[in-house]
Structure 1
């Protein structure tokens, strides 16, 4: 099997956050994409607009769409009663909508970064989440963020925590090409990767430490993050999962015709892998 035949793309709803679920699923269908990530942070959209979970599940089924993840439980490694309630609500939603996984995003405000403290916090959270997710048949996808203020930047620390809590049956990691570049961590952990988020940065003026979500566009020839190199290395290491587009740039969100831009980016990546 050729390398390019192993590439399976997905769309995170952040590619076109203004689209309602029906239009978003139709966009996927037009692109020949059958896997999506839906989010709980898009105002006026599922999940937060109150649309019954059964309606989203039926809509996905009618369009031949598989929901790969709910994105996301925020501040997962700040475990408390509030977080537990949020985790249970999202895990229930993931189970009921037929989603395979729940993305777990760490605290990203400069707190919880102390050596010892951050490792302990991750293990506490994963130990609790192991039961919550396991009981519902939902996988947890831990997503280290590369920002300097993040409490979990290292995939190595995440992988070690997953193993320490006996969580390899429940948890995997998200390899985000943007955050991997920012973190500067060389190791990839393809065997522990359950999902890859892809986005590019083509602004030549912004320094790496100053890169932020609004810089994240679709992957093209101007990409400074070496998405192509990262994807090649992950595949060479055995990764065979989804490559999910997750651009945060307002320039992408304002596109009148996102389908053409996404098709162009898909072709750009396929031609180089």
Structure 2
């Protein structure tokens, strides 16, 4: 099964690196696909670096940009969100990114039955045109946190189908959020990207797991990343597995290349 594994690197794996150093790290690991972010200070996109500069830098390094992560609160659709979506979709198109990740409201609002489904459909209907016109795919990422307005991949998949969005949208299967949500179904055919990270803290309860607990996948992983990946691949998924650790412990690593290589080797050895 290891021959089917295709890893990617989210800039959150080494957020202190400049785009040039981040692309170089990916190249050294033999990874040719990356996700760039719009939430890292002093870095593209927040520092105003033109998309063409990042596009050319990636091309020179032999790197493909698979996504921009992310349009936040996408299912709280209003004039502000529309403007953000257009700006990010333009940047994604101009930087050569294949997709834009779409993250739902995650503050306890918009959770009512009926309300949350209506909000997702309204946002996806608008985004279908914005993204479709620019040739950018939308990747809907349900979050497993109890306060999230879109926890269920089934609800996301139904909404995508209902708005006729199968040509534009797919979902992100995040192994951390899938574990937290407790939803058994995995929807490999609707999955456009997989985010991988592990939790090995033996004390924290599932309901209390947060982004700072998310490390690189290793033998102590409590999220069953290996099992989730195995099920996705068995279901026909052949896309990218993108490392997205949020733990400050990972971000402080003196040698992220070695740590990432170890995680790649561990996952490969178990599949």
TM > 0.5? yes
The residue aligned with 1:185 is: 183
How far the C-alpha of 1:153 sits from its partner, in A, is 0.0
The aligned runs of 1:25-44 (5 Å cut-off) are 25-44=23-42
How far the C-alpha of 1:52 sits from its partner, in A, is 1.4
The aligned runs of 1:180-259 (5 Å cut-off) are 180-259=178-257
CA-atom RMSD, angstroms? 0.3
CA deviation digits over 1:112-144, x for unaligned, max 9? Answer: 000000000000000000000000000000000
Give the alignment's TM-score, normalised by structure 1: 0.99
How far the C-alpha of 1:244 sits from its partner, in A, is 0.0
State the 4+ residue runs in structure 1 displaced beyond 6 angstroms: none
The residue aligned with 2:127 is: 129
CA deviation digits over 1:179-204, x for unaligned, max 9? Answer: 00000000000000000000000000
The residue aligned with 1:46 is: 44
Q: Secondary structure at the match of 1:69?
A: strand
Distance 1:271 1:62 in 2: 32
Unaligned stretches of 5+ in structure 2? none
Unaligned stretches of 5+ in structure 1? none
Distance 1:19 1:4 in 2: 29
Distance 1:37 1:23 in 2: 14
How far the C-alpha of 1:51 sits from its partner, in A, is 1.0
| Total equivalences in the alignment | 271
How far the C-alpha of 1:243 sits from its partner, in A, is 0.1
How far the C-alpha of 1:50 sits from its partner, in A, is 1.0
The residue aligned with 1:102 is: 100
The residue aligned with 2:66 is: 68
| 2:141 matches 1:143 | yes
